[in-house]
Structure 1
Amino acid sequence: MDYRQLFSDDEVRQEFLDRFDEIAAGAAALGGFESMDAGLTVDRAAEAVERMAEGAWGPDGSGLEAIVERFTRPVHLVQRSTFRLPPDGLPTSAHVTARLERARRPLERAIPSVGRVELRNHAMQWAGTGWMVGPRLAVTNRHVAEIFAREARTGEGTGFAFKQSWTGRTVRADLDWYQEYQQPEESRFRVTEVAWIEPDSRFDVALLRIAATGEDGGEPPAPIELDPSGARTGRWVAVIGYPARDSRADPDDQQRIFDGVYGCKRLAGGKVTAVRGKDIVHHDATTLGGNSGSAVIDLDSGKAVALHFRGLVGERNVAVHAAAVARIVHAHGR
């Protein structure tokens, strides 16, 4: 996490310090923060926040990192295509919450167009996240598509085929636009074709063609418009996808931040922390492994500015710039 960007908002910084006793008490009540009894006071927190803002602080075993993340970058539940705070009642930044509330309408337009990539005839139940970028066309990560598809020779040259399971059955993939917490509804669309798996290692991108109608006879959701010029450092974004339990992350921190709920559609607010040309975007929204393929949505426009593909624990999240996604869609999505 880039704490310099996180505490560049004076309102968030001051709110965190003003409410620190409340935040610390809520965290201690969950357990796992033994350091609360070892003198993690508001004065020590203020010193740490100052170092964070200067880029000179690193995790020190005090539990402060998880407290900061839970308060400033909470992960919202998605239910019935809208979002709400987790039900655990822990303190959350009013400033961050208000920023997401102001963007509720554009975010609710994007939420239905993000789905979970589900598998059949495979050891895994699901593989990651995908979202609509065109009529019957969804985008996900290369490393997600390669779980169930491979490059293959066709009558017209090189294409892509679904893999075979160890029993010899063909692996199939679907996109389910729901899979929401405590909601039974499904909206599953068969992936009829893997249209493209990008070979360039800079761009972890794949394109999936889906059926014209779902299992219930419905139509696919609307595409999310790409905004190739919208990624700018400091812009507020939301990552919409399906975080899964992640062996790389601290299990206690995961439990505190995600309330033990995994594999369901979530929305996490954050900021763009860096832009690397028209290839790569960094952001600080809270993610886990299943977020691979998530949409990174600009809060003001509701358009996608990036395709999330990787998180480096304790450092940053990395996404493919919308400009690169747009080029790939234009070249291979027709």
Structure 2
Amino acid sequence: MKTARERLAESEVLRAAVQRRIDGGLLERMGLPDIRVPAPGEGADADVADRLESIDPGGSALEAIVQLVGRPPLLVQNDRVVFGDDEIDSLDDFPPGTDARIRATEKFIPSVGRVEFTNFTMAWGGTGWVIAADGADRIVVTNRHVASLVARRTADGHGVFMRGPSQIRFGASLDFNEEFGAIASQATPFDVVDIPYLADTTAPDVALLRITGQNLPSPLPLADTDAAFDDVVALVGYPAYDDRNDKDAMARYFRQLYNVKRYAPGRITQALGPRVTLQHDCTSLGGASGSPLIRLSDGRVVGLHFSGLYGKFNSAVGASTLRQLLAGARPVADIAAVAGATEAAGDGQHGPDQLADRAGYDPAFLGGGDLSAPWPGLPADVEGDLARPSDESASQPFELRYTHFGVKFSRSRKQPRMTAVNIDGRHPVAIKRGSDRWFHDGRIPRDIQLGKNDYAHPDIDRGHMVRRQDPNWDDTLPAGGPGVSEIAQRANDDTFHYTNAAVQHGDLNSGARQWLGLEDYILNSAKTHGFTACVFTGPVLRDDDPEIAAGVVAPREFFKLVVMESAVEGTLHATAYVLSQGEMIRDLLEERGRTEAVEGFELGAYRTFQVAIADLAAVTGYDFSRYVPFDPLAALATSEAADAGEPVFVPLDAISQIVL
């Protein structure tokens, strides 16, 4: 990188710019004595250069002055750079033909947009640009510090939108217009529907956003080679007023016109290296964060600008890093966070041979035919994440079969997605709780199962999805049979597999009293028949579930669907429940346009809610249509509420409040 003294000696434009700054009182404001910049041919005054470099220990202060003269932030209108006589003159510090090269790269301007926010205190936060196509969608890249204004990173590196104090969810969109002179009707916003990657603060300042819609812009081409020192480049973005810069300089350069698309040519002042960042001197202010740095010689992107927000260095993430992230590579810290630790002593493992005789869940347990109780259907993306046991049955796909129950297991979350158990209240067998040794299931890979160390944190518990007592029955014995049964003991022991455990925060136990007594209450109700039931249980998995320990994500809600034969023989009876702080209720209100109801919504302590099965289906995306017609709670909805799509739910402060 050239020193300030060398740059002064080489550039008449720069010398004149520095002298104008001194004449305007720059050194006086800095507390430095008045000095003169040498005239052309006199050579650079070492004292001048050294004093200017000393302003910033990184040697970037003189480059800030360069940004103020000879580095014009050119306006963009109708996807073209505005060139007047003054703008042409301002390019004198660049090689001849730079204006033609700028024109050659104008085709990329429509692919650069402003990152705008919804339900947030700021209308917009930075710049983003299309980096790749993904089917009909587009992937946009911006800075982490832009996206993290409205989103937060999850354990697997994805991002999810946060909520404000009033519980309204934030959102984002990309508007690829927002040019000088544009009117509101010319806006071209595309909603951000997903955040595939949001960097940790220890990783390069990058976020990847997914947008969808019609007539999406084309991706900008990434450079195959890194930028070299003194390459002519350009920054395309939306500089905003930034009081961390000299106000007079901003007024002179931007003429009080901010927040619109600009094209700022400059040079690479430091090439990317093993221990140095990619730096440039294009004019930028805070809103340019996330702008593409385009090399004019070949029209390819060599970097992602990120330092404008901080006002210290014009730095950029290199194209090589962007290519790696786009290909799915992640920083080592991300990989280490989800790597399993050395397993503590005490856990066991059952191999396929030891579990070979397990029949699993029986959908015909209540009688078959009109009384059949099949597994609820799962969306394709959820099903694609399920583990496939080595002994998978064609008639029971994805099911890890145990005694009187089955599990469908999420590979990515390392926890059950759903469990299904057959309960026979006529032939229960009491099994005394033993040492509670937990086992891994050898029919699926060990590395997708949690273990003892993963539950070492004092705030989390292993939560049985199939209750320990539920499958403990033996219909080969007389009703109320003896206290010992090999079948019932095996069922009891089978519940102590990690595949049947979900991570539960300790706070959840405070509201679990009604939850734990649901099945017993329903089994003994006069409105049901036969004392047999099929129960489906699982976590409500969300992208923004909190990471409690490294790679261990705790669901915030759990659902339960209890299916029995009705007191009217030959028909089903089905009820659904959620153990929650209220997130599901809030989401249902929000998704159905009940903004006023969400405003001020408070998440309280964990409690049990009875919910309409149709509403449970809407939140989870699962197919519960088999059971919706048999839900007594649905009859509570008035016609007006039904027409408005209001959720139907009953907070259960006492088990007797269940609607049967």
Task: Indicate the TM-score class for this superposition, using the shorter chain for normalisation.
Answer: 0.7 to 0.9
Contact 2:72 2:265 in 1 (8 A): yes
Query: Residue 280 of structure 2 corresponds to which residue in structure 1?
Result: 283
From the superposition, tell whether residues 314 and 179 of structure 1 become closer, same or farther in structure 2 (CA, over 3 Å): closer
Contact 2:5 2:45 in 1 (8 A): no
1:102 aligned counterpart, secondary structure: helix
Q: Does 1:145 align with 2:147?
A: yes
Query: Residue 216 of structure 1 corresponds to which residue in structure 2?
Result: none
Query: Residue 78 of structure 1 corresponds to which residue in structure 2?
Result: 76
Aligned equivalent of 2:24, options 33, 43, 48: 33
What is the one-letter code of the residue matched to 2:255?
D
Spell out, residue by residue over 1:238-295, the C-alpha distance to the aligned partner (whole angstroms, 9 max, x if none): 0111111112111111111211111111111111111232783111111111111000
**Structure with bigger gyration radius:** 2
From the superposition, tell whether residues 2 and 241 of structure 1 become closer, same or farther in structure 2 (CA, over 3 Å): farther
1:310 aligned counterpart, secondary structure: coil
Q: Does 1:212 align with 2:230?
A: no
CA shift at 1:321, angstroms? 0.4
CA shift at 1:55, angstroms? 6.7
Query: Residue 264 of structure 1 corresponds to which residue in structure 2?
Result: 260
Query: Residue 129 of structure 1 corresponds to which residue in structure 2?
Result: 127
CA distance in 1, matches of 2:279, 2:116: 27
Spell out, residue by residue over 1:8-59, the C-alpha distance to the aligned partner (whole angstroms, 9 max, x if none): 895xx14556xx49x95xx89xxx92579x9987746876856599777448
Alignment of structure 1 residues 1-334 onto 2, 5 Å: 4=4, 7=7, 10=10, 13-15=11-13, 20=16, 24=20, 33=24, 43=38, 51=46, 57-58=52-53, 68-85=66-83, 92-96=90-94, 98-135=96-133, 136-152=138-154, 159-184=158-183, 185-199=186-200, 201-213=202-214, 219-277=215-273, 280-311=277-308, 316-331=313-328
CA distance in 1, matches of 2:281, 2:204: 19
What is the one-letter code of the residue matched to 2:141?
V
Spell out, residue by residue over 1:161-185, the C-alpha distance to the aligned partner (whole angstroms, 9 max, x if none): 2111222111110100010111222
What is the one-letter code of the residue matched to 1:307?
L
From the superposition, tell whether residues 49 and 208 of structure 1 become closer, same or farther in structure 2 (CA, over 3 Å): farther
Contact 1:15 1:93 in 2 (8 A): no
Give % identity.
32
CA distance in 1, matches of 2:149, 2:117: 9
Query: Residue 419 of structure 2 corresponds to which residue in structure 1?
Result: none
2:314 aligned counterpart, secondary structure: strand
From the superposition, tell whether residues 54 and 139 of structure 1 become closer, same or farther in structure 2 (CA, over 3 Å): same
Contact 1:109 1:302 in 2 (8 A): no
Contact 1:59 1:65 in 2 (8 A): no
What is the one-letter code of the residue matched to 1:266?
R
Farther-moved stretch of structure 1 (226-235 vs 43-52): 43-52
CA distance in 2, matches of 1:125, 1:145: 13
Spell out, residue by residue over 1:100-156, the C-alpha distance to the aligned partner (whole angstroms, 9 max, x if none): 312123320211111000011000000100000111100001111111111347xxx
Contact 1:7 1:53 in 2 (8 A): no
Contact 1:106 1:300 in 2 (8 A): no
Spell out, residue by residue over 1:196-238, the C-alpha distance to the aligned partner (whole angstroms, 9 max, x if none): 112262410000000132xxxxx11110011141311111100
Contact 2:71 2:266 in 1 (8 A): yes
CA distance in 1, matches of 2:277, 2:236: 18
TM (norm. structure 1) is: 0.79
Spell out, residue by residue over 1:64-98, the C-alpha distance to the aligned partner (whole angstroms, 9 max, x if none): 98775433111111111111258978962434385
CA distance in 1, matches of 2:233, 2:157: 37
Contact 1:7 1:52 in 2 (8 A): no
Contact 2:81 2:263 in 1 (8 A): yes
From the superposition, tell whether residues 8 and 134 of structure 1 become closer, same or farther in structure 2 (CA, over 3 Å): farther
TM (norm. structure 2) is: 0.42
What is the one-letter code of the residue matched to 1:163?
M
2:328 aligned counterpart, secondary structure: helix
1:147 aligned counterpart, secondary structure: coil
Contact 2:13 2:70 in 1 (8 A): no
Contact 1:100 1:269 in 2 (8 A): no
Q: Over aligned residue pairs, what C-alpha RMSD do you find?
A: 3.8
CA distance in 2, matches of 1:244, 1:84: 19
CA distance in 2, matches of 1:314, 1:147: 18
1:328 aligned counterpart, secondary structure: helix
From the superposition, tell whether residues 106 and 59 of structure 1 become closer, same or farther in structure 2 (CA, over 3 Å): farther
Contact 2:76 2:261 in 1 (8 A): yes
CA distance in 2, matches of 1:292, 1:129: 6
What is the one-letter code of the residue matched to 1:296?
L
Structure 2 unaligned runs (5+)? Answer: 28-32, 56-61, 331-660
CA distance in 1, matches of 2:221, 2:190: 20
Contact 1:249 1:313 in 2 (8 A): no
Farther-moved stretch of structure 1 (66-75 vs 164-173): 66-75
From the superposition, tell whether residues 73 and 46 of structure 1 become closer, same or farther in structure 2 (CA, over 3 Å): farther
Farther-moved stretch of structure 1 (49-58 vs 142-151): 49-58
CA shift at 1:311, angstroms? 3.8
CA distance in 2, matches of 1:52, 1:138: 46
What is the one-letter code of the residue matched to 2:174?
L
What is the one-letter code of the residue matched to 2:223?
D
CA distance in 2, matches of 1:39, 1:222: 52
2:222 aligned counterpart, secondary structure: coil
CA distance in 2, matches of 1:296, 1:74: 15
CA distance in 1, matches of 2:194, 2:117: 14
From the superposition, tell whether residues 257 and 78 of structure 1 become closer, same or farther in structure 2 (CA, over 3 Å): same
CA distance in 2, matches of 1:66, 1:45: 22
Higher relative contact order (CA 8 A, sep 6+): 1
Farther-moved stretch of structure 1 (273-282 vs 1-10): 1-10
CA distance in 2, matches of 1:113, 1:300: 19
From the superposition, tell whether residues 297 and 158 of structure 1 become closer, same or farther in structure 2 (CA, over 3 Å): closer
CA shift at 1:186, angstroms? 1.2
What is the one-letter code of the residue matched to 2:24?
F
